[in-house]
Structure formats: structure tokens, C-alpha cells
């Protein structure tokens, strides 16, 4: 009986194989990322496949074609350990049945659609494309799907202007998770001109503490002092979310004082996910 692996495991394998083939054939990073995206699209479509290696080879070959890589079909087939006929035929079937475009879809297309969908003004639309160009100059788009880039920019502009557009609405529109939008939009928001102070998520412990003091002004000031002390002493990695740490510390202090406060109540104020705040709260709770 054939073993059925999870889509996550399959995508991890496909990604590893595409990186291996790309490294062996000196493909660009953009080509490998495009191939992995295509692999994800194949899995999400529910396409019935016989061989994971064939899918990896076909997606890599399609990415080479889309990115105009000077890599031949025989070379791809050799690396994929499949026949040229197998890779060629499967690539053609994927393009036909999944309507894969011969060239990668750029974020511009999704931006235009989103601008119309959410009723952005002409000025806001212009700002969307300015952020896209600034993001490209800083390579913020590298490794991200065009839909993620577009969704992050749409949400960044909506946040800046206080539009009644929820993160969930944008994530559903671009077919990405809210986590993808939440973790990406801040980088683009930082590039915008004249961003209100209360819109950009806090970047330091003091900024995050000040945000919570303003929001929960009815709480004693000592809550903020204790949360700052906990945050400063937290033993976490360099990639940790500063706002998440402060949120977890503040929640820990407030709950110990009998306050009815939740991670959801802190999440929207700090611009980080509920799960992140909960994780750090549990860390501080375990240390008690």
C-alpha cells in the first residue's frame, strides 16, 4: 500500500529537491523560489500525481522556462532522475490543467485588482505602487509570493490611512494566510511617507510599553514597570519579536494581578499575532 504523506512533508521534499537541482545547475535564487511556489500551487490544487520526483522536476523545469534560465530539458531530467519525456509531458499537463502562466505573475496585477476591490483612492493607489518599487529596491520581495507582496502592501496602505479593511479580508482576497500578511506588511509600512506614530508597530521595548500604557491607562503604572523588567531580562534569540515579548510580559503581569486581559486584547495594539504573545506569556509563566 502506498504511503500517504502530508502536503507539508511533500512540499518540503519538493523544495529540497528543487534547491538541490538548482544548485547543481547554477540556477538563480528567483528560479528556485519560483519552482517551489509552483510546487505549492500543484499541491494546493489537489492535482493527482504519481511521483513526487516528477512533480519537483516539472516545477523546476517550468520555473527555468518562466525565468528564462539557460538550462536545458536534458539537464533537468538528468538531475530529476526522470526521462525527458516524463518531465516534458508533465510540465505541459501542469500548465494546461492548472492554467500556469508562461511568465511569473507580478505583484502589480494583484495590486490593481486589490485597489479596485477595496476602493482605494487614486492617491492611495499611487502609494501602493511607490511602496512596491521601494520594496524592490530593498529586495523585500525576494522569497515572497507576488500575492503575499501585494497583500502586504494593500494592508500597509490601509493601516496607514485608517481604512475599514480588515487583515482577514485582504488575506482571503490574495489567498494567503493572515500570518503571511501580518509578518510582511510592517516592512513595507516602514517605507511609507508620513506614517502616523500609532500605526507602525512598536520596534523597541520602550515603544511597546508606551503603547500599552496608553491603551490600558486604567491599570497601575507598576504593571508596565514590571513588564519592562521582564522583557529586558528575557533570554530569547535575535530574531524574537520585541512587541511579542512585551505583550507576553504585560499579559503575565496583568493576569497575576487578577486582571481580565487576553492575548487577543494585546494583539491588535502591538501588531503581532495572538499566538506570539501567548508563547512569550507561557515562557514568563514557566519562569515564575
Distance between CA atoms of residues 11 and 72, nearest Å: 24
| Highest-pLDDT range among 101-115, 144-158, 237-251, 269-283 | 144-158
pLDDT the model gives residue 202: 66
Report the b/e string of 109-141 with b at 16+ CB within 10 A. Answer: ebbeebbeebebeeebbebbeebbebbeeeebb
**pLDDT, tens digit, 9 for 90 and up, residues 140-192:** 877 677 888 999 999 999 988 989 998 889 988 887 788 888 878 888 988 88
CB 172 within 8 A of CB 201: no
State pTM to two decimals. Answer: 0.48
Answer whether residue 198 shows pLDDT above 70: no
**Burial of residue 193, with CB atoms counted within 10 A of its CB: 0-12 exposed, 13-18 middle, 19 or more buried:** exposed
Alpha-carbon distance 223 to 227, whole Å? 6
Helix (H) or strand (E) holding 28: none
Top-ranked range on mean pLDDT: pick from 79-88, 206-215, 238-247: 79-88
The Cα–Cα gap between 87 and 83 comes to: 6
Q: What is the pLDDT of residue 143?
A: 66
pLDDT at 197: 58
Tell me the domains of the chain and their CATH numbers: 7-97 (1.10.472.10), 107-189 (1.10.472.10), 205-287 (1.10.472.10)
Tens-place pLDDT, residues 89-128: 999 999 888 888 777 667 787 898 899 999 999 999 999 9
Amino acid at each position: 500500500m502506498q504511503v500517504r504523506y502530508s502536503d507539508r512533508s511533500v512540499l518540503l521534499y519538493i523544495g529540497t529537491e528543487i534547491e538541490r537541482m538548482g544548485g547543481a545547475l547554477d540556477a538563480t535564487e528567483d528560479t528556485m523560489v519560483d519552482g517551489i511556489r509552483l510546487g505549492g500551487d500543484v499541491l494546493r490544487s489537489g492535482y493527482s500525481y504519481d511521483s513526487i520526483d516528477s512533480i519537483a522536476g516539472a516545477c523546476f523545469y517550468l520555473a527555468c522556462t518562466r525565468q528564462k534560465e539557460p538550462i536545458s530539458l536534458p539537464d533537468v531530467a538528468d538531475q530529476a532522475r526522470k526521462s525527458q519525456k516524463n518531465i516534458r509531458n508533465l510540465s505541459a499537463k501542469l500548465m494546461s490543467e492548472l492554467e500556469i502562466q508562461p511568465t511569473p505573475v507580478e505583484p502589480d496585477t494583484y495590486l490593481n485588482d486589490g485597489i479596485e476591490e477595496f476602493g482605494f483612492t487614486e492617491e492611495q493607489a499611487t502609494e501602493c505602487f511607490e511602496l512596491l518599487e521601494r520594496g524592490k529596491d530593498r529586495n523585500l520581495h525576494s522569497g515572497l509570493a507576488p500575492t503575499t507582496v501585494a497583500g502586504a502592501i494593500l494592508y500597509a496602505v490601509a493601516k496607514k490611512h485608517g481604512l475599514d479593511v480588515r487583515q482577514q479580508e485582504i488575506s482571503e482576497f490574495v489567498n494567503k494566510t493572515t500570518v503571511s500578511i501580518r509578518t510582511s506588511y510592517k516592512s513595507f509600512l516602514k517605507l511609507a511617507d508620513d506614517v502616523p506614530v500609532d500605526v507602525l508597530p512598536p520596534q523597541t521595548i520602550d515603544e511597546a510599553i508606551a503603547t500599552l500604557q496608553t491603551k490600558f491607562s486604567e491599570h497601575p503604572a507598576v504593571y508596565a514597570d514590571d513588564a519592562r523588567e521582564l522583557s529586558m531580562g528575557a533570554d530569547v534569540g535575535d530574531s524574537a519579536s520585541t512587541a511579542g515579548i512585551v505583550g507576553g510580559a504585560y499579559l503575565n503581569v496583568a493576569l497575576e494581578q487578577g486582571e481580565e486581559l487576553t492575548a487577543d486584547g494585546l494583539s491588535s495594539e502591538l501588531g503581532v499575532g495572538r499566538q506570539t504573545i501567548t508563547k512569550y506569556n507561557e515562557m514568563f509563566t514557566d519562569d515564575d
